[in-house]
């Protein structure tokens, strides 16, 4: 893998000079006669890990670390909603929890759940709907 990475870096340098721009991974792979995935894996394998506490900017005493630049799509409301949902699920009757787990965690159909629990598919549907409505707070 190191040999592939070494040759890929040489090919990148050569192609950069020839093309007067940074070559694509596809161009490097073609130059080496290798698969694109082989080149990507080899180049990724030789990259040194970076600490989340690596400074990326410093202005006087205000240092910004890599960790500060990693964004999250979650807002404050998202984690509050998650806590509320977990609490609502925790308060469901055991049978409804089991049905939701079978349906959404194990990916079973209502018919499969009905067969395993020993009730009708219609009952599974009603219990599932009831559980979801309880979680939503619309019951």
Sequential DSSP letters for 40-54: HHHHHHTSPP--TT-
30-81 residue pLDDT tens: 999 999 999 999 988 888 777 877 887 777 777 777 777 666 666 666 778 7
C-alpha span between 96 and 124 (Å, rounded): 9
Amino acid 58: pLDDT: 76
Sequential DSSP letters for 58-127: EETTEEEEHHHH---S--HHHHHHHHHHHHHHHTS-HHHHHHHIIIIIS---HHHHHHHHTS-HHHHHHH
Amino acid 1: pLDDT: 84
Burial state string for 60-80 with b = 16 or more CB within 10 A and e = fewer than 16? eeeeeeeeeeeeeeeeeeeee
pLDDT of residue 5 exceeding 80: yes
59 beta partners: 62
**Whole-prediction pTM:** 0.44
Q: How confident is the model at residue 11 (pLDDT cuts 50, 70, 90)?
A: very high
C-alpha span between 56 and 54 (Å, rounded): 6
CA 17 from centroid of its chain's CA atoms = 37
53 against 26, higher pLDDT: 26
């Amino acid at each position: 893998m190191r040999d592939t990475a070494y040759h890929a870096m040489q090919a990148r340098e050569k192609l950069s000079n020839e093309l007067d721009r940074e070559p694509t991974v596809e161009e490097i792979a073609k130059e080496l006669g290798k698969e694109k995935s082989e080149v990507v894996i080899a180049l990724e394998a030789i990259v040194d890990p970076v600490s989340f506490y690596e400074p990326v900017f410093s202005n006087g005493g205000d240092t910004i670390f890599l960790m500060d630049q990693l964004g999250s799509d979650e807002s404050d409301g998202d984690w509050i909603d998650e806590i509320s949902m977990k609490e609502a699920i925790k308060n469901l009757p055991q049978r409804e929890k089991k049905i939701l787990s079978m349906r959404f965690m194990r990916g079973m159909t209502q018919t499969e759940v009905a067969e395993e629990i020993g009730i009708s598919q219609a009952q599974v549907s009603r219990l599932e709907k009831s559980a979801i409505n309880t979680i939503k707070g619309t019951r």
